[in-house]
Amino acid sequence: MENYKKEITICLGSSCFARGNKATLKIINNYIKENKLEDKIFFHGSRCFGKCEHGPIIKIDDKLYEQVNETKIIKILDENLKKI
């Protein structure tokens, strides 16, 4: 699919946001800019995935990542985005 964009959804619910997704949001935005991926990624927020006890949560396409922190997010992004 030529116009396909990788979708990254970050939970902006109060629990995930308080547990670290505020910092993760900035890291993802910086990663996208630094790697010039703006035209290849649809990055947006979502209210709640209903898994607050496993947060912070992000979703890339259909895969959920739980307990995401500032260290894990770079590895997750590298695994999912380096080849696009």
Q: Is the pLDDT of residue 2 over 60?
A: no
pTM: 0.91
> 44: domain CATH number?
3.40.30.10
Identify the CA nearest to 49 among candidates 8, 1, 5, 10.
Answer: 10
- The CA angle 28-38-72, to the nearest 5 degrees, is 20
Q: Does residue 1 fall inside a structural domain?
A: no
Give the residue-averaged pLDDT of 62-73: 95
Q: Does residue 23 fall inside a structural domain?
A: yes
Q: Can you give the residue range of the structural domain that contains 29?
A: 6-81
